[in-house]
Structure 1
């Protein structure tokens, strides 16, 4: 049974969402010099990012506490990734500590967890020494609105809050932390705070239309000109 239909619909369009894919590309660029990593994608959803990581040559385990998302990921998985990509039901909190990964990724996950410090500690412990921890979270609590409520978010983060959260694990050295989505703050305010309706993510925003091309141009500007604020935070850390 699908408990959160808004979240389920959000996952179904992730593969054509320019904003999600722009964040994915920033992470893929960070990993491009690393070959054949063993990656844990925590909170994998429908598996779209796991497939991109597998296509880049990595071995990926995707976990998610929602059985319907795991079923969807398995259904959508291209045959070419059946040996390099796998999915299993599970939460960060319950995942066994015996296994270590070269890289642990949690893309827009911590905001869904009430005790985010416990989750951050667990994620850090799953990274092998000198391995990478990569996080994305929604930023700026002042933007909290319709979208956050519908997705079941507990919070949005500031740079200092996210840094404090990771530093308190005592295991991760933060290498880089940046805002992303500065150019989309007006869009976030309009849809989530004023109109209180879902973002218009569909084929018209996927890049082949004028609106899509404009959106992709704004995201490219964001990627190469980091700003002091944004709708998301992206953190890259290394296990001590």
Structure 2
């Protein structure tokens, strides 16, 4: 585990602890990812470790958390020190550009991270270089620019995505395995909030209601609508062997 530097990039958002308890949502999208979370996994923008806790089950050969903000990374460091994360987990405080390309990963994932990166195409192209042959690149982002709110701006989102936008940002050499919208029922609720309530910041009660009541419904409705719309976009792409 890397030691924490005196100064790194500082993340301006404050939503990580708010969404940390969205257990049903993490389990739902995690069910789509788990078949690909094998061998050497790189999690870019690991934040405070909420996704790592949810998805890293110790069966992986290595799970490297990359986080540029030293303050956020200190939370992951504490999880490692207290053995709340498996022994395969490690922490690098910095960015993807710091890592040597000589040790490719089988899976690289960005969970609600790419929308924070101004040059998303260059970032994903760099990630592609760190993939082993037949490795997969996983990207989950918030959907639809018309839902962009003051909350998005406050936490450093440059944009929200349609499926076609995200596909265009993916490395052109990659093979698209899945390109899905997730959380169709959550999209309806967000749309109503945008039009009727016009509330920019979700409250803990709203997050709990969404996670406990709406996400389970979305697990059903997403299948019915065949992932044609939803509050998030998920793309899984593979590097040719």
Question: Shift of residue 54 of structure 1?
Answer: 2.6
Q: Which runs of 5+ in 1 are unaligned?
A: none
* Secondary structure of residue in 1 paired with 2:56: helix
Residue aligning to 1:224? 223
Q: Could you list the per-position Cα deviations for residues 84-108 of structure 1 after superposition, in whole angstroms to 9, with x for gaps in the alignment?
A: 1111111234433232101111111
- Secondary structure at the counterpart of residue 62 of structure 1: strand
- 1:148-159 equivalences in 2 (<5 Å): 148-159=152-163
Check whether the contact 2:105–2:135 (CA below 8 A) recurs between aligned residues. Answer: yes
Residue of structure 2 in register with 1:66 after alignment: 69
- 1:103/1:133 contact within 8 Å kept: yes
Q: 1:222 to 1:106 in 2, by over 3 A?
A: farther
Q: Secondary structure at the match of 1:235?
A: strand
What is the Cα-based RMSD across aligned positions, in Å?
2.6
- Which runs of at least 4 in structure 1 moved beyond 6 Å after TM superposition? none
Closer/same/farther in 2, CA of residues 178 and 203 from structure 1, 3 Å limit: closer
Is 1:11 the counterpart of 2:16? The answer is: yes
Which residue pairs with 1:106 in the alignment? 110
Aligned residue in 1 for 2:31: 25
Among 164, 187, 197, the residue aligned to 1:185: 187
* Contact kept in structure 2, 1:19 and 1:219, CA below 8 Å: no
Task: Look up the match of 2:150.
Answer: 146
Q: Which runs of 5+ in 2 are unaligned?
A: 1-6
Scaled by the length of structure 1, what TM-score is found? 0.83
User: Is the 1:43–1:63 Cα contact (8 Å) retained in structure 2?
Assistant: yes
Distance in 2 (alpha carbons) for counterparts of 1:74 and 1:102: 23
Give the count of matched residue pairs.
228
Residues 1:135 and 2:139 aligned together? yes
Separation in structure 2 between the aligned mates of residue 46 and residue 236 of structure 1, nearest angstrom: 23
* Counterpart-to-counterpart distance in 2, 1:111 and 1:38: 24
Conserved 8 A contact 2:11-2:69: no
Picking from 151, 162, 165, the partner of 2:166 is 162
CA contact (8 A) 2:46 2:65 kept: yes
Instruction: Give the 3 Å change call, closer, same or farther, for CA 47–146 of structure 1 in structure 2.
Output: same
What per-residue deviation string (whole Å, max 9, x for no partner) do you get for residues 46-84 of structure 1?
112223333151221000111111101111345153521
- Which residue of structure 2 aligns with residue 57 of structure 1? 59
TM-score of the two chains, using structure 2 as the length reference: 0.83
Q: C-alpha separation between the residues in 2 aligned to 1:146 and 1:19?
A: 23
The CA distance in 1 between the partners of 2:207 and 2:138, in whole Å, is 30
Are the equivalent residues in 1 in contact too, given 2:25–2:211 (CA < 8 A)?
no
Q: In the superposition, relative to structure 1, how do residues 203 and 179 fare at CA in structure 2: closer, same or farther (>3 Å)?
A: closer
